[in-house]
Structure 1
Protein backbone atom coordinates (compact mmCIF):
# COMPACT_ATOMS: atom_id res chain seq x y z
CA UNK A 1 0.00 0.00 0.00
CA UNK A 2 1.10 3.58 -0.75
CA UNK A 3 1.53 6.03 2.06
CA UNK A 4 -0.04 9.33 0.95
CA UNK A 5 0.94 11.20 4.08
CA UNK A 6 4.64 11.01 3.32
CA UNK A 7 5.95 13.81 1.10
CA UNK A 8 8.23 12.70 -1.71
CA UNK A 9 11.87 13.70 -1.53
CA UNK A 10 12.80 15.89 -4.55
CA UNK A 11 16.24 14.29 -4.74
CA UNK A 12 14.70 10.85 -5.14
CA UNK A 13 12.58 11.86 -8.14
CA UNK A 14 13.89 10.68 -11.48
CA UNK A 15 15.15 13.49 -13.69
CA UNK A 16 14.02 13.56 -17.32
CA UNK A 17 16.61 13.10 -20.03
CA UNK A 18 17.72 16.55 -21.23
CA UNK A 19 18.37 15.38 -24.82
CA UNK A 20 14.73 14.36 -25.27
CA UNK A 21 13.45 17.86 -24.42
CA UNK A 22 14.75 19.61 -27.58
CA UNK A 23 16.68 22.90 -27.61
CA UNK A 24 17.52 24.27 -24.20
CA UNK A 25 17.54 27.93 -25.28
CA UNK A 26 13.95 29.01 -26.09
CA UNK A 27 15.21 32.22 -27.75
CA UNK A 28 17.46 30.44 -30.22
CA UNK A 29 15.96 30.83 -33.71
CA UNK A 30 14.90 27.65 -35.38
CA UNK A 31 16.02 27.15 -38.98
CA UNK A 32 13.30 27.59 -41.62
CA UNK A 33 11.80 24.40 -43.02
CA UNK A 34 12.82 25.42 -46.56
CA UNK A 35 15.93 27.05 -48.07
CA UNK A 36 15.77 30.83 -48.65
CA UNK A 37 14.78 32.10 -52.11
CA UNK A 38 17.65 31.86 -54.54
CA UNK A 39 19.69 29.45 -52.42
CA UNK A 40 21.02 26.45 -54.28
CA UNK A 41 18.81 23.43 -53.98
CA UNK A 42 20.37 20.25 -52.67
CA UNK A 43 21.94 18.18 -55.40
CA UNK A 44 22.44 21.06 -57.85
CA UNK A 45 25.86 22.19 -56.68
CA UNK A 46 27.06 25.58 -55.56
CA UNK A 47 25.51 28.60 -57.25
CA UNK A 48 22.89 26.75 -59.28
CA UNK A 49 19.23 26.70 -58.53
CA UNK A 50 16.39 25.78 -60.88
CA UNK A 51 14.47 28.80 -59.56
CA UNK A 52 17.27 31.15 -60.73
CA UNK A 53 19.14 29.58 -63.67
CA UNK A 54 21.07 32.80 -64.46
CA UNK A 55 21.94 33.60 -60.86
CA UNK A 56 20.64 35.99 -58.23
CA UNK A 57 21.14 39.74 -57.94
CA UNK A 58 23.27 40.25 -54.80
CA UNK A 59 21.60 43.57 -53.90
CA UNK A 60 17.93 42.70 -54.24
CA UNK A 61 18.00 38.90 -54.05
CA UNK A 62 15.81 38.64 -57.16
CA UNK A 63 16.73 36.14 -59.88
CA UNK A 64 18.28 37.62 -63.01
CA UNK A 65 16.25 37.90 -66.19
CA UNK A 66 16.99 35.81 -69.26
CA UNK A 67 17.60 39.09 -71.15
CA UNK A 68 20.91 40.97 -71.20
CA UNK A 69 21.23 44.68 -70.60
CA UNK A 70 24.10 45.07 -73.09
CA UNK A 71 21.98 43.60 -75.89
CA UNK A 72 19.01 45.82 -74.95
CA UNK A 73 21.15 48.96 -74.78
CA UNK A 74 22.99 48.33 -78.05
CA UNK A 75 19.74 47.55 -79.86
CA UNK A 76 18.22 50.73 -78.48
CA UNK A 77 21.18 52.86 -79.62
CA UNK A 78 21.79 51.29 -83.05
CA UNK A 79 18.11 50.97 -83.99
CA UNK A 80 16.66 54.07 -82.30
CA UNK A 81 12.98 53.35 -82.64
CA UNK A 82 12.25 51.17 -79.59
CA UNK A 83 13.75 47.81 -80.56
CA UNK A 84 15.60 47.49 -77.25
CA UNK A 85 12.37 47.99 -75.34
CA UNK A 86 10.63 45.37 -77.49
CA UNK A 87 13.49 43.04 -76.48
CA UNK A 88 12.94 43.63 -72.75
CA UNK A 89 9.17 43.18 -73.09
CA UNK A 90 8.06 46.79 -72.56
CA UNK A 91 5.85 46.88 -75.66
CA UNK A 92 3.88 49.99 -74.67
CA UNK A 93 7.02 52.09 -74.29
CA UNK A 94 8.48 50.58 -77.47
CA UNK A 95 5.38 51.44 -79.53
CA UNK A 96 5.45 54.99 -78.12
CA UNK A 97 9.12 55.39 -79.11
CA UNK A 98 8.39 53.98 -82.56
CA UNK A 99 5.47 56.37 -83.13
CA UNK A 100 7.44 59.39 -81.90
CA UNK A 101 10.32 58.47 -84.20
CA UNK A 102 8.01 58.07 -87.21
CA UNK A 103 5.91 61.18 -86.55
CA UNK A 104 8.96 63.44 -86.08
CA UNK A 105 10.79 62.06 -89.14
CA UNK A 106 13.56 60.53 -87.03
CA UNK A 107 14.20 63.39 -84.61
CA UNK A 108 12.32 61.49 -81.88
CA UNK A 109 15.01 58.82 -82.15
CA UNK A 110 17.00 60.87 -79.65
CA UNK A 111 14.62 59.63 -76.96
CA UNK A 112 15.46 56.03 -77.88
CA UNK A 113 19.20 56.73 -77.99
CA UNK A 114 19.15 58.35 -74.55
CA UNK A 115 17.04 55.46 -73.28
CA UNK A 116 19.68 53.05 -74.65
CA UNK A 117 22.40 54.82 -72.70
CA UNK A 118 20.27 54.62 -69.57
CA UNK A 119 19.78 50.89 -70.19
CA UNK A 120 23.55 50.39 -70.41
CA UNK A 121 24.49 52.52 -67.39
CA UNK A 122 21.56 51.99 -65.04
CA UNK A 123 19.94 49.00 -63.38
CA UNK A 124 17.21 48.12 -65.90
CA UNK A 125 14.51 45.52 -65.31
CA UNK A 126 12.48 43.38 -67.66
CA UNK A 127 8.72 43.36 -67.88
CA UNK A 128 8.56 40.88 -64.96
CA UNK A 129 10.54 43.18 -62.66
CA UNK A 130 13.70 41.04 -62.69
CA UNK A 131 17.04 42.82 -63.18
CA UNK A 132 18.69 42.34 -66.56
CA UNK A 133 21.95 40.39 -66.62
Structure 2
Protein backbone atom coordinates (compact mmCIF):
# COMPACT_ATOMS: atom_id res chain seq x y z
CA UNK A 1 0.00 0.00 0.00
CA UNK A 2 1.87 2.99 -1.31
CA UNK A 3 0.06 5.83 0.46
CA UNK A 4 -0.97 3.99 3.61
CA UNK A 5 -2.63 5.31 6.73
CA UNK A 6 -3.21 3.60 10.03
CA UNK A 7 -5.48 4.76 12.86
CA UNK A 8 -6.75 3.35 16.12
CA UNK A 9 -10.19 4.36 17.37
CA UNK A 10 -10.79 3.67 21.04
CA UNK A 11 -13.74 4.20 23.37
CA UNK A 12 -12.60 7.27 25.29
CA UNK A 13 -14.85 6.47 28.27
CA UNK A 14 -12.69 3.46 29.21
CA UNK A 15 -10.20 3.64 32.09
CA UNK A 16 -6.71 4.78 31.04
CA UNK A 17 -5.14 1.35 31.56
CA UNK A 18 -7.78 -0.32 29.38
CA UNK A 19 -7.26 2.33 26.69
CA UNK A 20 -3.49 1.69 26.73
CA UNK A 21 -3.99 -2.08 26.57
CA UNK A 22 -6.52 -1.76 23.75
CA UNK A 23 -4.08 0.37 21.73
CA UNK A 24 -1.28 -2.15 22.30
CA UNK A 25 -3.41 -5.13 21.25
CA UNK A 26 -4.72 -3.39 18.13
CA UNK A 27 -1.25 -2.17 17.09
CA UNK A 28 0.34 -5.60 17.60
CA UNK A 29 -2.41 -7.26 15.60
CA UNK A 30 -2.08 -4.77 12.73
CA UNK A 31 1.69 -5.34 12.76
CA UNK A 32 1.10 -9.06 12.31
CA UNK A 33 -1.30 -8.46 9.43
CA UNK A 34 0.88 -5.83 7.74
CA UNK A 35 4.51 -6.51 8.66
CA UNK A 36 5.67 -3.93 6.09
CA UNK A 37 4.71 -1.24 8.60
CA UNK A 38 7.74 -2.19 10.71
CA UNK A 39 11.00 -0.58 9.63
CA UNK A 40 14.39 -2.21 9.47
CA UNK A 41 16.58 -2.59 12.53
CA UNK A 42 18.77 0.45 13.14
CA UNK A 43 22.19 1.01 14.69
CA UNK A 44 22.95 3.83 17.06
CA UNK A 45 26.17 5.85 17.29
CA UNK A 46 27.80 3.06 19.34
CA UNK A 47 26.85 0.37 16.87
CA UNK A 48 24.15 -1.08 19.12
CA UNK A 49 21.17 -2.56 17.30
CA UNK A 50 17.68 -1.18 17.93
CA UNK A 51 14.79 -3.28 16.62
CA UNK A 52 12.71 -1.68 13.89
CA UNK A 53 9.60 0.19 14.93
CA UNK A 54 6.55 1.24 12.98
CA UNK A 55 7.20 3.54 10.03
CA UNK A 56 3.57 4.68 10.07
CA UNK A 57 2.09 7.17 12.49
CA UNK A 58 -0.50 5.53 14.75
CA UNK A 59 -2.88 8.28 15.81
CA UNK A 60 -5.34 7.23 18.47
CA UNK A 61 -8.76 8.70 17.84
CA UNK A 62 -11.61 8.91 20.31
CA UNK A 63 -14.87 7.13 19.86
CA UNK A 64 -17.95 6.08 21.75
CA UNK A 65 -19.41 2.58 22.04
CA UNK A 66 -22.18 3.54 19.59
CA UNK A 67 -19.74 5.03 17.09
CA UNK A 68 -17.46 1.98 17.27
CA UNK A 69 -20.37 -0.40 16.67
CA UNK A 70 -21.68 1.64 13.72
CA UNK A 71 -18.22 2.08 12.23
CA UNK A 72 -17.44 -1.64 12.59
CA UNK A 73 -20.60 -2.50 10.64
CA UNK A 74 -19.65 0.01 7.90
CA UNK A 75 -16.12 -1.36 7.69
CA UNK A 76 -17.34 -4.86 6.79
CA UNK A 77 -18.15 -3.45 3.34
CA UNK A 78 -14.56 -2.14 2.97
CA UNK A 79 -12.76 -5.36 3.83
CA UNK A 80 -10.36 -6.69 2.58
CA UNK A 81 -9.33 -3.40 0.91
CA UNK A 82 -8.89 -2.05 4.45
CA UNK A 83 -7.31 -4.11 7.19
CA UNK A 84 -9.58 -3.97 10.23
CA UNK A 85 -8.89 -5.31 13.71
CA UNK A 86 -11.46 -5.04 16.46
CA UNK A 87 -11.33 -5.66 20.18
CA UNK A 88 -14.46 -6.29 22.20
CA UNK A 89 -15.09 -5.79 25.90
CA UNK A 90 -15.03 -9.56 26.51
CA UNK A 91 -11.25 -9.28 26.82
CA UNK A 92 -11.87 -7.84 30.28
CA UNK A 93 -14.03 -10.75 31.46
CA UNK A 94 -12.51 -13.78 29.77
CA UNK A 95 -9.43 -15.60 31.04
CA UNK A 96 -8.19 -17.16 27.79
CA UNK A 97 -8.27 -16.76 24.04
CA UNK A 98 -10.58 -19.79 23.86
CA UNK A 99 -13.07 -18.08 26.18
CA UNK A 100 -12.83 -14.90 24.10
CA UNK A 101 -13.51 -16.93 20.94
CA UNK A 102 -16.53 -18.53 22.60
CA UNK A 103 -18.02 -15.12 23.46
CA UNK A 104 -17.61 -13.99 19.85
CA UNK A 105 -19.14 -17.22 18.56
CA UNK A 106 -22.14 -17.03 20.91
CA UNK A 107 -23.21 -13.53 20.05
CA UNK A 108 -25.68 -12.06 19.69
CA UNK A 109 -24.37 -9.02 17.85
CA UNK A 110 -26.31 -6.74 20.20
CA UNK A 111 -24.24 -8.05 23.12
CA UNK A 112 -20.89 -7.25 21.51
CA UNK A 113 -19.41 -3.98 22.72
CA UNK A 114 -16.29 -2.72 20.95
CA UNK A 115 -13.43 -1.21 22.94
CA UNK A 116 -11.49 -0.25 19.86
CA UNK A 117 -10.87 -0.63 16.16
CA UNK A 118 -7.65 -0.55 14.18
CA UNK A 119 -7.75 0.45 10.51
CA UNK A 120 -4.99 0.32 7.96
CA UNK A 121 -5.33 1.03 4.28
CA UNK A 122 -5.25 3.57 1.51
CA UNK A 123 -4.94 7.05 3.04
CA UNK A 124 -7.99 8.57 1.34
CA UNK A 125 -10.27 5.70 2.36
CA UNK A 126 -9.13 5.75 6.00
CA UNK A 127 -9.44 9.54 6.18
CA UNK A 128 -12.92 9.44 4.64
CA UNK A 129 -14.05 7.07 7.40
CA UNK A 130 -12.25 8.67 10.34
CA UNK A 131 -11.35 12.25 9.42
CA UNK A 132 -14.10 13.73 11.59
CA UNK A 133 -12.87 12.00 14.78
CA UNK A 134 -10.78 13.86 17.30
CA UNK A 135 -7.51 12.73 18.82
CA UNK A 136 -7.77 10.87 22.11
CA UNK A 137 -6.01 13.09 24.67
Please tell me whether Structure 1 or Structure 2 has the larger radius of gyration of its CA atoms.
Answer: 1
Larger strand fraction of residues? 2
- Is the TM-score greater than 0.5? no
Larger helix fraction of residues? 2
TM-score by length of 2: 0.22
TM-score by length of 1: 0.23
